[in-house]
Structures are given as structure tokens and as C-alpha cells.
Copies of this chain bind each other. A is one copy, B any other.
Amino acid sequence: MASWVNVPEDSDFSLDNLPYGIFSTSHLSPRIGVAIGDQVLDLRDLAGAGVFDGLDFNTDTLQQATLNDYASQGCAVHRKVRLRLQELLRHDTTSGDVLRDHGQLRDRCLVSLEQAEMHLPMVIGDYTDHFIGLPHAKTSAEFLKPGSTIEELIPSFWDAPSAYHGRSSTVVVSGTPIHRPKGQTRVDGRTVSGFCQKLDFEVEFAAFISTGNEFGSSIAVDEAEDHIFGFVLLNDWSARDLQKNELAPFTSKNFATTISPWIVPLEALEHFRTTPTNGNRVLPDYLVQKKANSAYDIPVHATLGVDGHKYHVAECNTNNVVFSVAQMIAHHSRGGCALRPGDLLATGTISGPSKEREGCLMELSYSGTKPYTLSDNSDSSKTIQRTYLEDGDEVTFTSQLKHSDGRGNVGFGLCQGRILSGK
């Protein structure tokens, strides 16, 4: 399905994607937009012009500077709006008079992506990070407690999606510089205070919640997907030396978490589903999901930018998980914990089972004991080495899914952050 809007061949934003974000320009205040090709469609103005009238929802929710209220309208509304946008944007639209041929509205509502500054798409009430990637869990057990297995570290690893509560105040949008954090480490049994010396990234995949549940109630696993607004890429920056010193992730994680700016809807990822890799383990009833293809097969590329060069780090995949996002939601709310629109649930590191598929330097460098060699993307003979991140390093995650029938790509934009020296 082609669009009359220019969609370059390498664009993440085909008509099959239509992700939501919050953007502003030098003369437009922050507002809701949908990416299409090399443009952003301004939904505030479009809603103001009555383009969504008759779709039976509160269109004021499209005229705000955050997506929370629109997300809370529910998945049936999101699907209707998506269909309406696809109809308006396809090259053979039968409603050309509404936007394509309506010069004034079209010129006002289509903004070049290059001019758009992206903001955090939702107000995040609570951020939860999970720990459901199998290869990462194996390595982490060894890192956190040398000689131990996953099951020794977390007895319930196979029985429920393990998680910890993260810090929502420091979730930032792609492009925000990351200051090297200070903290405490232990050297020879003595506490040392200063800048983190083992700064790392973690390649993750995350879901934003659309509609939540009441305090004291829970969400059934087979209904959980209806509570997902969409997905982003996520970098769970980690200070490994600080982490070894903490009972649960605290200062080692709470200094920053970066997300990609565009929330990709479920519908855009339907063709990229797979089963979680938990084998055929018997689960408690509340985690037994009817849908078999409940996880996603999405390769995520990590690159390191150094002095103007781009180096290949790893190719991870969202399929390296033992639970689906729906199972994460069911378990999270199981005891009556309220989820709210804008809550962010991340998978944890989605490392694959071999080198070059590992999603953090802790894994790639064998806990910092052996430097990892990275090749220049454009000249593989050119290499650099890293154990952990250095000041000036720019970490970028991208993912671009291609439909086999040439319908164009589905991607997330960049999840990028550059390390600044500490202050």
C-alpha cells in the first residue's frame, strides 16, 4: 500500500507503520504527530479540522502535548484512527479532498521530519524493567553471583516474568546526552566514591500501556494485548561497578534510560510475531496465553559512534525472551497492582545466544575482562576495542522490519544517546 506522501526506500515510516510521537518545531508547540515517510502528520491540526469527527471518541485527546489521554481511549479507537489515516494517506485514496488535495490543510499538517524536535511521547507514571531474556539472564547470574545459575539467582525465572521497578523521572527521549554518573563502588573491600568506570548500555524492547486497571484488580493474559498502546526501543544504561554494590538496581540504573521517540502500534508488528522461547514449560493458569505467537521476531541493531565513525556492536532480537508482553502485564497486575496509561514495561536485555548478538558490553567483554572488537560499518578492516563505554561514545539502536511483499518498512526511529563526561 503506497502513500502519496514521499516514503524514501530506507524510511522506517511506511503506511503500514504510522507510529505516534510528540514533536515540536521552531514555530509549533509540542503536539501529537504520526510519522509517514519523511514527514510528520500534525494530528492536533488534523483533529481541529474535524478529520476524525464521527469516529466516536473524544478528539480533544489528540490536541494535547502528550499521548496519555488519547492512549486511554482504548485500542478500538486507535484502530479506527489508524484506518482513517491509512485511507487518507494512501495514493489511491477515495477521500483525496480531505487532505491530499486540500492544499491549505495538507501544507499545514505535513511537517518535514528534519524540522521536528521529538519529545517524550507519554507522561510515564511508572516504569518497570523485566528480566526475561534467557541468554542475558545466564550471563547476569554469573556476573552478579559468580558460579551461579539462573535458577540459583532467581528460583522463579521460568515461572513468571521477573521484574524490578525502575525510575520514571529519568526516562529520556532519543538524542538526550547522558552524563557519566557518580556513585559508590567497592575496591578491595573498601568503598570508593566517584565516577562510574564501567558504563554500559542494554538493548531492550518496551511497551507503553494504553488503558490500565483499577487498584486491586488484575488484567487477564488473553486481554492484555488490548492494554498495549505500542512499542519502542529502549536503552537501559547501566553502571556495572555501581550495580555490583547494590541489593537491587538503584543508582546503577536510575541516572538515565533512553527510548526511541515513535510508539509503533501493535497492528504494525502483526506480521513479525513468533513464540516466546520458554519451551513447553507448565505455567500457572493466569499466564497461559491462548495466542501462541505472543512474542515478536524483531532484530535490533546496536552501533557505536566514535569520532564520526559508526561501528557495528551487535544484532539482538526481541525473540530472545521466555515470556510475552501480555504475560508481563498479567503477572504485573496479578496482585492488584494498578497499571495506568503511559506506564512503560521493558523486557530487559534481549541478547541472543552467541557473541555479536549480545546486547550489552558486560556480556560482549566477558564482564570487562576481555575487550570486545568492533568493526567500522563501512570498512570492516578498521576496528576499535571496548570493555565499557568511553566519554564521547554514541550508542544507537535501530530496527527496520521489511514486509516480504514490498509494502515498505516498519521501524522505530533512533534510540540514541551520547556519553558526556561526568559533572
- Residues in chain A within 8 A of chain B (CB atoms): 125-126, 131, 153-156, 159-160, 162-170, 172, 176, 179, 181-184, 186, 191, 193, 196, 212, 215-218, 239, 242, 245-251, 254-256, 284-286, 331-332, 334-340, 343, 423
List 17 additional contacts besides A154-B246, A251-B332; criterion CB under 8 Å.
Answer: A125-B168, A160-B191, A164-B164, A164-B165, A165-B166, A165-B248, A165-B254, A167-B337, A169-B212, A170-B215, A170-B336, A170-B338, A172-B215, A179-B216, A215-B256, A248-B249, A255-B335
Complex CA–CA separation, A246 to B50 (angstroms)? 50
Complex: how many Å from CA A229 to CA B179? 28
Q: Contact between B335 and A251 (Cβ–Cβ < 8 Å)?
A: yes
A250 and B331 CA atoms in complex are apart in Å by: 10
Chain B residues whose C-beta falls within 8 Å of the C-beta of A332 in the assembled complex: 251, 254
Select from chain B the residue with minimum beta-carbon distance to A192. B284
Using known A-B contacts A164-B164, A186-B155, A249-B248, determine if residue A335 contacts B169 with beta carbons closer than 8 Å.
no
Given A169-B343, A254-B335, A285–B248 Cβ distance below 8 Å?
no
B179 touches A246 (CB 8 A): no
Interchain CA distance A343-B131 in the complex, whole Å: 26
Copies in the complex: 2
A337 touches B126 (CB 8 A): no
Given A165-B167, A247-B131, A285-B193, A179 and B125 touching (CB < 8 A)?
A: no
9 nearest A-B residue pairs (beta carbon): A181-B335, A248-B248, A193-B284, A164-B248, A255-B335, A165-B165, A159-B191, A254-B337, A179-B216
Instruction: Name the residue on B nearest A154 (C-beta).
Output: B247
- State how many angstroms separate the Cβ of A231 from the closest Cβ of chain B: 21
Asked whether A156 and B169 contact (CB < 8 A) given A164-B248, A248-B249, the answer is no
Q: Are A337 and B165 in contact (CB under 8 A)?
A: no
Cα A169 to Cα B402 in complex, Å, equals 38
Give the residue of B162, B186, B284 whose beta carbon is less than 8 angstroms from that of A191.
B284
A335: B residues at CB distance < 8 A: 181-183, 196, 239, 242, 251, 254-255
Nearest Cβ on chain B to A177's Cβ, whole angstroms: 8
Asked whether, in the complex, the Cβ of A184 is within 8 Å of the Cβ of B169, the reply is no
Are A170 and B337 touching (Cβ within 8 A)?
yes
Q: Which of B164, B212, B245, B286 contacts A250 (CB 8 A)?
A: B164
**What is the bound-complex CA distance between A183 and B284, given in angstroms?**
10
Interface centre among A164, A183, A251, A331, by most chain B C-beta atoms within 10 angstroms, is: A251
A166 to chain B, nearest CB (A): 6
Q: A156-B191, A159-B184, A196-B335 are in contact. Are A423 and B170 (CB under 8 A)?
A: no
Q: How far is the CA of A232 from the CA of B39 in the complex (A)?
A: 50
Would you give 9 A-B contacts (Cβ < 8 Å), ordered by A?
A: A153-B247, A155-B245, A164-B165, A167-B337, A169-B215, A170-B338, A215-B256, A247-B248, A254-B332
